[in-house]
Structure 1
Amino acid sequence: MPSIPYRLVRFDDEPFAIGPVEFDRGIAEIARYWTEIDDDLADTDPDRASRIREDRLRIAKFDYARTAYWHDPESIDAICDMPYLPDGGYDAEAGESRGHLLDLYLPHSAMVRGGATLPVFIDIHGGGFTYGYKELNRNFNMHLAALGFAVFSLNYRPAPQTDLRGQLADVQNALAWIRDHADGWPISPHNIFLTGDSAGGALAWYTLLIERNPDAAQAFGIASPSGLPIAGAALVSGVFDLTERPDVPSARTQLEQTVGREFFDGLDGAMPLAPFSAAAQTALPPLYLLTSSDDFIQAETLGLATALACAGRDFELHDVKVAPTETLGHVFSVCMSWLPESQRALQQIHDFAYRNCR
């Protein structure tokens, strides 16, 4: 499949001829390749819709600046836009859901050799639960595949299309589809790993709990988890503590300012939202955790690492120290895979997964 032309539009030729309104409109049009902007906000409360649109556009500006560096490694096959639910096709004018599609990336050599041995990563993209589709992580997924993995990349419905329970139900439906169709590709049925960044890291973490803990599955409204034999997970700069703590600033409080309180409907006091109780009560597979010293939610990863350590779980923590003259920021290994630090992180993820293959 030919590479997607990421660098669709540049404003470099006349940098002073385009005002901020026109620039925002141009970014919004380009970013529709990898995210919703406002097509799904018509039926949303105006104040909430405005907050979500502003947040999406703000993040899109950061991502747009990186598109010039996105490229596809050679010899990776991409099988794109497979619907994991019947409404998976996307037609904005017809109102069909883009949230129920997935991609598969895998080395062409694996297709040539055949067999059923290639380790698998299932990637859940980030974006504050409101932003992004699988295309946002295409660059990361292609480079992960180039290291010797089959990589499934999932869409899920962003808020306000659904809430946290609905997003986790989307992930479960995607996992069930992969379970039922895995024999169509040269991939291992045993060596299956999850990965996710930021909000996707949270969804990957909660998916592990759903798969391994019946109480967590019940709390999230999942009657029948997929049962995929998940051998481990690589969690990148995730949001892992979504308990309600009105007395102190928290990730939950900050998220509610954008997604609204209704995003967490039915989950107040639920065990899975508190990492210490969840880690203690769940038989977890090995975990790889990545953050950096200038990640604005570094404390979330360090908090999960502490919870895992107290529960005696198997994990490895990589907290990259950033020099005062440099910056890495949030989910650097996913958003900026060309950096040396990102290349090291990708190799660490490879080594972690291959150590835990059987």
Structure 2
Amino acid sequence: MSNILEKQFLKQRNDFQKSCVERDKKYHFPQGVIFETDIAYAKDKNKAHRLDRYRPKGKETQILPVIINVHGGGLLLGNKEFNKYFCALLSKKGFLVYSMEYRLIPDCTFFDQLRDIFLAMDFVKEHAAADGGDLSHVYLVGDSGGACLATYANAIQNSKKIAKAAGIKPSELKVHALGLISGMFYTTKFDKIGLFLPKYLYGKQYRKAPFAAYVNPENPELLYALAPAWLVTSHNDHLRNYTIRFEKALTAAKKEHEIVDFPKNKKLTHAFSVFEPFLPESHAVIDMLTEYLRKF
């Protein structure tokens, strides 16, 4: 069964790559953005350890707040290139944006993906000042599986206990707020995700491992460790219930956050602001997200 599932994962990944070619024929890269691609953030020459950098033109001499973007794809697929239009539009709002690649399941574990995030964050910590970034205003933004990774990375940063349970040394780069778009927060529920994915993420014996207490994102220690968060979903988001449920947990924990839930609209599907970044509603998401981040 494992081999069958892994072949299916890889097929989905290949199909996704093909769909990206057609998608790029539909969109044009936004004007007014300086875009540098495939910058290595680690010294191991792994192609997954690269990031792209975005900076608005005309603001080369200004010190800008920093966004680190973590792409979605259910932790199984996706790439930083898919998020390039979204990241360019974020940058046009006056941000230095780094969009990172990371290894994918089943080639690695969830913990390896978190280590990739911390490697990228260490790179940003070292280089952002020279790039014109303000390290006193740094934000993590992710969609779908990327939102899940951003959530856990931030919790691990702010909790030595969770970091120890994960067996991970976090980056020391302080994250001041989170942007969580259609987050795939739950990975062990009795649904299409939770039925097959956990052993690939956490290991076959994960229920007996120290991190088992934290695979549920509603764990009070995890919630307490999070920075302020802005969440967005929509009626037609197939993971809407994940965001609604997680937001209720944040409310119960009295954690600073805001949520936007778009009404029924067949165009506003899962992570629509990333998938369809030029919709009016996607521009509204970017406006609201960046306005929230600037508060912190």
User: Same fold judged by TM-score > 0.5?
Assistant: yes
Paired position in structure 1 for 2:284:
344
Paired position in structure 2 for 1:203:
149
What's the offset of the Cα at 1:67? 2.6
Deviations 1:72-116 (A, max 9, x none): 22221112211111123xxxxxxxx211111110112221x24xx
Answer whether contact 2:162 2:214 (CA < 8 A) is retained.
yes
Paired position in structure 1 for 2:96:
150
> 1:301-320 counterparts in 2 under 5 A?
301-320=243-262
Q: Please, which of 227, 252, 264 is the counterpart of residue 202 of structure 2?
A: 264
Q: 1:70 to 1:219 in 2, by over 3 A?
A: farther
Paired position in structure 1 for 2:34:
77
Answer whether contact 2:223 2:255 (CA < 8 A) is retained.
no
Deviations 1:247-301 (A, max 9, x none): x436322535xxxx23321643623321221466523221000111111111111
Distance in structure 2 (CA, Å) of the matches to 1:171 and 1:288: 20
What amino acid is the match of 2:7?
Answer: S
Answer whether contact 2:214 2:222 (CA < 8 A) is retained.
no
What's the offset of the Cα at 1:221? 1.6
What's the offset of the Cα at 1:70? 2.3
2:191 aligned with 1:234, yes or no?
no
Q: Please, which of 114, 119, 127 is the counterpart of residue 73 of structure 2?
A: 127
> 1:1-358 counterparts in 2 under 5 A?
46-60=3-17, 63-88=20-45, 97-111=46-60, 113-114=61-62, 117-223=63-169, 225-243=170-188, 245=189, 248-249=190-191, 251-255=193-197, 261-265=199-203, 267-268=206-207, 270-278=212-220, 282-323=224-265, 326-356=266-296
Distance in structure 2 (CA, Å) of the matches to 1:281 and 1:317: 16
What's the offset of the Cα at 1:54? 2.9
What's the offset of the Cα at 1:169? 0.7
RMSD: 2.1
Answer whether contact 1:239 1:251 (CA < 8 A) is retained.
no
Answer whether contact 1:140 1:334 (CA < 8 A) is retained.
yes
What amino acid is the match of 2:202?
Answer: F
In the superposition, the TM-score normalised over structure 1's length comes to 0.76
Answer whether contact 1:197 1:237 (CA < 8 A) is retained.
yes
What's the offset of the Cα at 1:145? 0.4
Paired position in structure 2 for 1:94:
none
Larger radius of gyration: 1
Distance in structure 2 (CA, Å) of the matches to 1:264 and 1:149: 34
The unaligned stretches of length 5 or more in structure 1 are: 1-44, 89-96
Deviations 1:127-171 (A, max 9, x none): 111212211111111111011111101111112221111111111
Q: 1:48 to 1:343 in 2, by over 3 A?
A: same
May I ask how many residue pairs the two structures share in their alignment? 292
What amino acid is the match of 1:154?
Answer: M
What amino acid is the match of 1:76?
Answer: V
Answer whether contact 1:105 1:142 (CA < 8 A) is retained.
yes
Distance in structure 1 (CA, Å) of the matches to 2:75 and 2:15: 14
Answer whether contact 2:220 2:253 (CA < 8 A) is retained.
no
What amino acid is the match of 2:201?
Answer: F
In the superposition, the TM-score normalised over structure 2's length comes to 0.91
Answer whether contact 1:211 1:226 (CA < 8 A) is retained.
yes
Q: 1:302 to 1:61 in 2, by over 3 A?
A: farther
Task: State the secondary structure of the residue aligned to 2:48.
Answer: coil
The unaligned stretches of length 5 or more in structure 2 are: none
Q: 1:291 to 1:172 in 2, by over 3 A?
A: same
Distance in structure 2 (CA, Å) of the matches to 1:288 and 1:341: 16
What amino acid is the match of 2:193?
Answer: A
Q: 1:128 to 1:311 in 2, by over 3 A?
A: same
Distance in structure 2 (CA, Å) of the matches to 1:291 and 1:64: 26
